[in-house]
Amino acid sequence: FHFVAGNTEQKALLDNIITASPGTQITDPKFMLEDTGDYFSGNIFLNGFATSASVGDTVNCSFDFTGDGALALTVA
C-alpha cells in the first residue's frame, strides 16, 4: 500500500477502515498492477487491518479481506 496524499479512493478506503467494524463490505476497490494503469476491481469484505513501524522508519500496513464475487480486470 503506497499512500498518495489527495487520492480520493485511498481516502475512502482509509475512512471506511477507521469507521468500519470487521466484516464491512467495501465496494469497488481497485488493485493497481505496476505502473501500467491496469487494475483489478470487485467487492471485498474487510476482515482486519494492522500497522507496524519502527522509530524513523516507514509505516507498514496490511489488509485482511475476503472477496465477494468475481474480480474484473480493466486494461488501460
- Containing 13, the helix (H) or strand (E) segment is helix 8-19
Number of domains composing the chain = 1
pTM of this prediction? 0.60
Answer whether residue 62 is part of any domain: yes
d(C-alpha 30, C-alpha 69), whole Å:
14
Answer whether residue 1 is part of any domain: no
Answer whether residue 2 is part of any domain: no
* pLDDT tens, position by position, 14-55: 777 777 666 778 888 888 888 788 999 999 888 888 888 889
Answer whether residue 3 is part of any domain: no
The domain of 13 spans 8-74
